[in-house]
Amino acid sequence: MNYHLVLTRRCNLNCFYCHGGEEIGPDTEIQYSMNDLATFLKKDKDVQLMLYGGEPTLRVPLIVELMDHFPKERFMLQTNGLHLDKIREAYIKRFHSILVSIDGTEETTDGYRSKGVYKKVIKNVKWLRKLGYKGNIVARMAVSEQTDIYKDVRHLIDLENPSFDHVHWQLNVIWDAEDNWQDFDRWTNEIYNPGITQLVEEWVGNMKSGTVEGIVPFMPLMYSLITGETSKLRCGSGLDTFAIHVDGKIGVCPISPDWEFSIVGNIWDSNPQQLKDSMSVVEPCPSCDDYGLCGGRCLFANRQRLWGDEGFNKVCQVSQHLFDSLRKHVEEVREIIAEGIISIDALNYPKYNNGCEIVP
């Protein structure tokens, strides 16, 4: 099972699209003991811990304590990258994947996150590369109205010093649209959808020379289109992926600790096998023709629908454009694979769930 372990609800940024920022008080910090956590995790035969926040690197001593306490577990890290260099080399190298929040160009990133963030993140990823880190470094973008998806994704994919192994993004379509968007329809029709089409065309074109660029949404979706593999929910929330919140409660998703529907247990009374498959998406997703490919996109959005049904459907249409853009090239990619230029395995990402939700 995969567990997003929320190390703190505090964060050292107050990003435009988050509405989180600095939380202060006793409810922001872990309220259970390491032994309590160990007793729960011992009930699971295959544990993966995805360190999450708030900002987990605000609690570096806790990261060290966790890694010392669980020397055989697989660790992932999702971080804004500002304090990456505070983690000692022996510990940073133990992470299988590190997802670093960076939203594209310096202008885009700093516009959302505050001035100077881009340069600090780039500096720390360079430090990570200099250490000889062998794991998977993912540039994890949050995409909103100031994003030019083509320009910002290409910027991160094309970086060489430092380089990112993969680029993934999430659309800012969870929280209330009124404060986040001026004209979502215009942005999707004039900027996002055309940018996706162009990115897909270039991504497939580069395969002809044997290069599979690490654009995360494209890789597993194309793999599924070629192999016929289906998914009940690609991020695994409520199925085999859960969040352990700071109060010890267990939720289906790390972003929803304050929604009662999402809490399915706690570390003292719950058994991992009883949690498995405890919640799944509801209609209209299971009846959609693309459900097997999409998997319902987001369990929280499917259940809560803060944008209402109309907004929910608009986001579905954006996903549909992504699927259609990839479908147009399925036979072309099949031929590239048949010719031995690339392997189908090159599209099979991620090997382990690392927090990339796949469908933006």
pLDDT of residue 190: 98
What three-state secondary structure class fits 29? strand
Give a yes or no: residue 263 inside a domain.
Answer: no
Longest dimension (CA), the chain: 60
Give a yes or no: residue 21 inside a domain.
Answer: no
Tell me which residues of the chain have a pLDDT lower than 50.
none
Torsion over CA: 166, 9, 240, 97 (sign): positive
pLDDT of residue 179: 72
Reply yes or no: is the peptide bond before residue 56 cis, omega within 30 of 0: no
pLDDT of residue 273: 93
pLDDT of residue 256: 81
State the total domains in the chain.
Answer: 1
pLDDT of residue 239: 97
Reply yes or no: is the peptide bond before residue 360 cis, omega within 30 of 0: no
pLDDT of residue 123: 98
Give a yes or no: residue 171 inside a domain.
Answer: no
How would you list the strands of the sheet with 263-266, edge to edge?
Answer: 166-171, 136-143, 95-101, 74-79, 48-52, 2-6, 241-244, 249-251, 263-266
Element (H, E) at 101: strand 95-101
Reply yes or no: is the peptide bond before residue 54 cis, omega within 30 of 0: yes
DSSP state at residue 265: E
* d(C-alpha 27, C-alpha 11), whole Å: 14
Give a yes or no: residue 344 inside a domain.
Answer: yes
pLDDT of residue 22: 52
Give a yes or no: residue 286 inside a domain.
Answer: yes
pLDDT of residue 279: 96
pLDDT of residue 262: 94
- Residue 26's CB: how many other CB atoms inside 10 A? 8
pLDDT of residue 25: 57
Give a yes or no: residue 244 inside a domain.
Answer: no
For 215, the domain range is 180-236+279-352+356-360
pLDDT of residue 62: 98
The per-residue pLDDT for range 232-260, each reduced to its tens digit, is: 999 999 999 999 999 999 999 998 888 88
In terms of Cα–Cα distance, which of 109, 12, 102 is closest to 53? 12
* Residue 278 identity: S
Give a yes or no: residue 340 inside a domain.
Answer: yes
Helices (H), ranges, the chain: 34-41, 60-69, 89-92, 106-113, 117-130, 149-158, 184-187, 193-207, 218-227, 272-275, 291-294, 299-304, 308-327, 330-338
Give a yes or no: residue 284 inside a domain.
Answer: yes
In the chain, % helix, strand, coil (3-state, to 5) comes to 45, 15, 45
pLDDT of residue 26: 61
